[in-house]
Amino acid sequence: MKGSGIEDGLIETGVFGIKTLEQVLAGSHYERSLFGFLVVEECILNLQWKAFWLEADTSKYVEELEIIDKLKVAITQNDTNAKDLFWKVSDDPNQLKALTDDFNAFIEKRCNESEQCKYWTNFLQMLSHVKSLIRSDREGDFLLQTYAISQLLPMFTAFDGLNYMRCGTFYYETLKALPVTHPYLYDQFCQGNFVVKSHYGAFNAVAGDMKLEQTINRSSKSVGGVIGQQKSLQYVTEWQLIYHETLGIANAFREITRSDTAKDETYLQKDLRPYKINESNRCVLGLVKFFEDRNENPFNKSLHDGTLKNFVSQVKSNPDVSKKILNVLQDGALKYKEYQMSIFELKTSLIHDKITKMNIPTVDQQLSSNKASSTSSLSAKAASKKAEATMKALDIAKSKAGGWKDVMQYDVFRLLSFSGWPYSEYTSTSE
């Protein structure tokens, strides 16, 4: 999503701060990244439906809209009938078939007409596979997890997650062979016994490695753990022998005091709590307004020329860049298929052999047309790194000396003569 303009929207609407946004886009903070992507997803879906209703005739979908309205009311009022109504609609999708078919046809048409539409639709498609993987863990659906992994592997290839692709490929091939190699284990996994569920309710199971972090590792770092005592082999050994007994006593205490007896399906689902719902709605509506204030609904034909661009700066994407970005899923799937065949069918490669990266550019990135421009780009990066290092050194000097006044007693002008110094108007040490 870098370079698309959505970064400015997430910052200006208060969804994330600047530093947090870097973590979100890098995927280094799981919970915040997932929240941010879900907010963007809801925003794009909102824009899609608004554009659809501008062209659609609501009188054609009276029955469908009544069903949706009933479901909406039941959910917002926390009605117990919401679940039954939802499953009724899920079991009989024909109730909403006319509406969903027309909506999907509208989105497909707009994607064929607009690069911007295809860009955001690709994002929704990728996020749907991520959500399927999370759902498979939360619900203990082994077949769904196997399918989700198969869909994510080409994405790892496309976005140069090569270690994820290698390890994921081995994992996926092992899962496919389970019915033959370990039939009993496969049956147990299909019954949901590949995840850990420690609480009542629905959608709260977690993978084994995550549960390990939530129990043993967390206990070792909390009160009564081993923090500060790692050098004492006797202490650590004693703790490892009795920690499960300590946890058992704590669980028995909660059971005796009935502090852990809730059995409704929303138990421990913090995302269903009012403050979380309000926060999510605020972020989504703020991001939608950010688009609309700039007359930027990519799915509204009258508001968009169809070219891929940064919708904030209005910088249009290079044609070669657009082609690489819009075809990223297809190109990733083809490259992964070649990789898979070379290892498991043709056996001409090993799983750890070197793989060339695809290097997908950002939306507003301009591709270098010759070696000279590439060299200048490298020199600009070097200058930027030097600038960053020097600014860091100056900040450290400032903190050590007590302020800029003391730092400027020394001849620091020599350090500042590089491209990237933000105060280029100063040309001498005295200034």
pLDDT tens for each residue of the chain, 431 residues long: 788 889 999 999 889 988 888 888 887 788 889 999 999 999 999 999 999 999 998 888 988 888 888 887 777 776 666 667 777 776 777 788 889 999 999 999 999 999 999 999 999 999 999 999 999 999 999 999 999 999 999 999 999 999 999 999 999 999 999 999 999 999 999 999 999 887 777 788 888 888 877 777 777 877 777 887 877 888 888 888 888 888 788 878 877 887 665 544 445 567 777 888 889 999 999 999 999 988 888 898 887 778 899 888 888 888 899 999 999 999 999 999 999 999 988 888 888 888 888 889 988 887 654 444 445 555 666 766 666 677 667 766 766 666 666 666 665 555 554 444 444 444 444 54
Task: Assess if residue 206 is contained within a domain.
Answer: no
Helix (H) or strand (E) holding 207: strand 206-207
Distance from C-alpha of 368 to C-alpha of 324, rounded to nearest angstrom: 14
Contact at 8 Å (CB) between 172 and 198? no
pLDDT at residue 366, rounded to an integer = 72
Contact at 8 Å (CB) between 34 and 84? no
Task: Assess if residue 146 is contained within a domain.
Answer: no
Amino acid at the residue 24: V
- From residue 352, give the alpha-carbon distance in Å to each of 153, 282, 338: 15, 46, 15
Distance from C-alpha of 84 to C-alpha of 71, rounded to nearest angstrom: 10
pLDDT at residue 177, rounded to an integer = 93
Torsion of CA 54, 59, 60, 61, to 10 degrees: 90
Q: How many CB atoms lie within 10 A of CB 347?
A: 9
pLDDT at residue 147, rounded to an integer = 95
Task: Assess if residue 392 is contained within a domain.
Answer: yes
Domain finish residue from 228, 244, 263: 263
User: How many residues are recorded in the chain?
Assistant: 431
End-to-end CA distance of the chain: 42
Distance from C-alpha of 145 to C-alpha of 132, rounded to nearest angstrom: 7
Task: Assess if residue 356 is contained within a domain.
Answer: no
pLDDT at residue 136, rounded to an integer = 93
Contact at 8 Å (CB) between 418 and 382? no
Closest CA to 154 of 355, 332, 342, 356: 332
- From residue 421, give the alpha-carbon distance in Å to each of 237, 386, 402, 415: 55, 10, 22, 10
Task: Assess if residue 225 is contained within a domain.
Answer: yes
Contact at 8 Å (CB) between 333 and 327? no
Show the domain range for 244. Answer: 219-263
Helices (H), 14-96: 18-26, 30-55, 62-76, 81-91
Q: Does pTM surpass 0.75?
A: yes
- Cβ-Cβ contacts under 8 Å for 122 (sequence gap 6 or more): 326, 328, 329
Distance from C-alpha of 124 to C-alpha of 117, rounded to nearest angstrom: 11
pLDDT at residue 399, rounded to an integer = 65
Q: How many CB atoms lie within 10 A of CB 73?
A: 13
pLDDT at residue 255, rounded to an integer = 79
Task: Assess if residue 269 is contained within a domain.
Answer: no
Task: Assess if residue 286 is contained within a domain.
Answer: no
pLDDT at residue 378, rounded to an integer = 55
Contact at 8 Å (CB) between 296 and 310? no
Total domains present in the chain: 2
pLDDT at residue 41, rounded to an integer = 95
Domain finish residue from 231, 263, 295: 263
- Specify the residue for token string 């147990």: 188
Task: Assess if residue 257 is contained within a domain.
Answer: yes
